Amino acid sequence: MKKERLNKNFLADLKDYDFLKIKENKIYLVGSIRFREYFIKIESILQITHKKLVNICSVDGLLNKEKFSNEEWDKLQKIALRKLHDQEAILVLDINNYIGEQSREEIDYFKNKLKKPIYFLSELNLKLYKNQ
């Protein structure tokens, strides 16, 4: 049996999303850690299928937020804002229309300070925007 990470089961949740709409190459993923599975899948899809350079704030932060002190988490958030400078666009993982406070801070910074493109996962959903 042939091994393949991006198999039908892996891609099932995201089959209705048009990632080709993202034209930029350096993409930063923004969203709540409660949707960490989406971070993992979308990172792989964008990198393997679309040859994008994908970044997130912190893998450890994504997997272990509850283990960080407030001070440590604030430091990670400041680093996230610094990392945004090297990105060409961000993709907001707005699962169930949820965008957390820290994600909003990153979005506002990217939009108002850096003035670069912002994509929302919900807007890439072909089923939701088929008739537009």
| Mean pLDDT for back-to-back runs of 10 residues, the chain (132 residues) | 76 89 96 88 93 88 81 88 92 94 90 96 84 50
Whether 60 maps to a domain, the answer reads: no
Whether 62 maps to a domain, the answer reads: no
Whether 131 maps to a domain, the answer reads: yes
How many domains does the structure of the chain reveal?
A: 1
Residue 47, H or E segment: none
> What is the predicted pLDDT for the residue at 130?
58
> What is the predicted pLDDT for the residue at 129?
64
Whether 10 maps to a domain, the answer reads: no
> What is the pTM assigned to this prediction?
0.87
Strands in the chain per DSSP E:
26-31, 53-55, 89-93, 118-120
Whether 125 maps to a domain, the answer reads: yes
Whether 7 maps to a domain, the answer reads: no
Whether 61 maps to a domain, the answer reads: no
- Domain with 26, as residue range(s), is 21-55+88-132
Q: Encode burial over 12-33: b for 16+ CB neighbours within 10 A, e otherwise.
A: eebeebebeebebeebbbbbbb
Whether 33 maps to a domain, the answer reads: yes
